């Protein structure tokens, strides 16, 4: 009887072990299949979203580099079209483009670092640096940053190439005009003067200050001034879409024009380097986010130190003929669109930015 009980007990224990082991194996297999299916669904969804992005960009006839940020990380990065259609040189993700007026974000950031360091005040007046300018005693640094200085300057190429910062500043001083009107009036002259003020305060050239305060701290590897482009770098040629792709820019930006854009549009960058700059304004390498926002006074919507703020979003655009650049996204850099074009979207870079941002917002 005892033997029978032991045998029954052993059989029961064995059956229980079989059930337990089998259950564990089934659970692991089921979980593995479920995980694979989930990952496949996620991959398929991401692929579908990227196909939609690709279609939006192709429909716009945009040529250049697109960088989309989601949750502060790169979600989509791709180059489109040719840098040089005649020689069939494609645009590359790491390719450099003239960033045009997006450079004002960098110039503005350096001014704000000088304020942070106690070397400059935002309500300091222009006569401390350029007393020869009319009404300079009524123009503040803040007004220069926000294009509310009353200064205007025609954007046209000078008669001669401006080979140094001294001649570039002299050109601005000779061509700008000033009124008492402090309404918003966008002009490169404000930022060329800010570049000169940076040089006066630091005792170094504007280009050297950009290198020391921006390029080196952020480890930028694809950022160059107009007169320092590497000889082995293919510079994209500017085009327009006018019913057909790759129509020549009828008024391409000349070296003379670039030489007149000190602090305002004479810098070349890759899209990824520019993203590092935007990050640097918030991650502590240049500023802590709230620190920058307070200095730039972004609570007051409108143009502030290189960016336009509205509805918890920010936007800026640069244009030099067929070269156009844009940044569009939320103020926390969670979702961001960066576009560097050598053939702008036919219906406008702002509209393309908005479409891509709207798509990112659905992710």
Q: Are 309 and 331 in contact (CB under 8 A)?
A: yes
Please write down the long-range contacts of 326-333, taking CB distance under 8 Å and 24 or more positions apart. Answer: 326/350, 326/352, 326/353, 327/102, 327/274, 327/278, 327/353, 328/353, 328/354, 328/356, 328/357, 329/69, 329/357, 331/293, 331/298, 332/282, 332/289, 333/69, 333/72, 333/278, 333/279, 333/282
Over pLDDT 90: what percentage of the chain? 83
For residues 239 and 97, what is the distance between their CA atoms, to the nearest angstrom? 13
Centre a 10 Å sphere on the Cβ of residue 223 and count the other Cβ atoms it contains: 22
Q: At 62, list the tokens.
A: 């945009």
- Domain segments of the chain as ranges: 62-361
Q: Is the pTM of this model over 0.85?
A: yes
Q: Choose among 245, 248, 266, 267: nearest CA to 256.
A: 266
Position 36 pLDDT exceeds 70: no
Task: Classify residue 13 by burial, with Cβ atoms within 10 Å: 0-12, 13-18, 19+.
Answer: exposed
Q: At 337, list the tokens.
A: 């669109």
How do residues 226-263 score in pLDDT, each as one tens digit?
Answer: 999 999 989 999 999 999 999 999 988 999 999 999 99
- Mean predicted confidence (pLDDT) in 298-309: 95
How do residues 77-100 score in pLDDT, each as one tens digit?
Answer: 999 999 999 999 999 999 999 999
How many angstroms from the chain centroid is the CA of residue 111? 18
Task: Classify residue 226 by burial, with Cβ atoms within 10 Å: 0-12, 13-18, 19+.
Answer: middle
How do residues 206-226 score in pLDDT, each as one tens digit?
Answer: 999 999 999 999 999 999 999
Q: Mean of the per-residue pLDDT values for the chain?
A: 91
- Considering the four listed CATH numbers 3.90.1150.10, 1.10.10.10, 3.40.710.10, 3.50.50.60, the one that applies to the domain covering 62-361 is 3.40.710.10
Question: Distances from the Cα of 252 to the Cαs of 13, 138, 239, 320, 342, in angstroms?
Answer: 86, 37, 9, 8, 11
Q: How far apart are the first and last CA of the chain?
A: 69
For residues 238 and 247, what is the distance between their CA atoms, to the nearest angstrom? 9
């Amino acid at each position: 009887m005892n033997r029978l009980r032991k045998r029954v007990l052993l059989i029961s224990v064995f059956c229980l072990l079989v059930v337990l082991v089998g259950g564990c194996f089934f659970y692991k297999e089921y979980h593995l299949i479920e995980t694979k299916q989930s990952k496949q669904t996620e991959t398929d969804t991401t692929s579908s979203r990227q196909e939609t992005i690709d279609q939006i960009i192709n429909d716009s006839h945009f040529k250049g580099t697109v960088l989309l940020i989601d949750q502060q990380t790169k979600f989509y990065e791709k180059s489109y079209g040719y840098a040089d259609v005649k020689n069939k040189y494609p645009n590359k993700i790491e390719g450099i483009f003239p960033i045009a007026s997006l450079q004002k974000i960098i110039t503005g950031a350096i001014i704000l670092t000088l304020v942070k360091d106690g070397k400059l005040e935002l309500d300091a007046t222009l006569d401390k640096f350029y007393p020869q300018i009319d009404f300079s005693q009524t123009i503040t640094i803040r007004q220069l940053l926000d294009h509310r200085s009353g200064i205007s300057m025609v954007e046209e190429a000078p008669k001669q190439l401006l080979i140094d910062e001294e001649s570039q500043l002299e050109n601005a001083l000779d061509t700008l005009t000033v009124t008492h009107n402090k309404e918003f009036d966008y002009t490169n002259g404000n930022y060329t003067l800010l570049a000169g003020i940076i040089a006066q305060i630091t005792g170094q050239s504007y280009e050297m200050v950009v290198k020391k305060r921006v390029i080196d701290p952020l480890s930028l590897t694809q950022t160059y001034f107009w007169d320092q482009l590497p000889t082995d770098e293919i510079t994209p040629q500017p085009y327009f879409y006018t019913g057909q792709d790759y129509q020549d820019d009828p008024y391409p930006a000349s070296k003379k024009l670039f030489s007149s854009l000190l602090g305002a549009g004479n810098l070349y960058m890759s899209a990824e380097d520019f993203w590092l700059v935007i990050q640097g304004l918030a991650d502590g390498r240049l500023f802590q986010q709230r620190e920058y926002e307070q200095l730039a006074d972004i609570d007051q919507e409108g143009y502030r130190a290189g960016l336009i703020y509205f509805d918890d979003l920010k936007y800026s655009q640069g244009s030099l003929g067929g070269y156009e650049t844009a940044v569009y996204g939320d103020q926390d850099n969670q979702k961001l669109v960066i576009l560097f074009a050598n053939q702008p979207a036919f219906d406008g870079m702002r509209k393309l930015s908005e479409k891509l941002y709207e798509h990112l917002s659905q992710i």
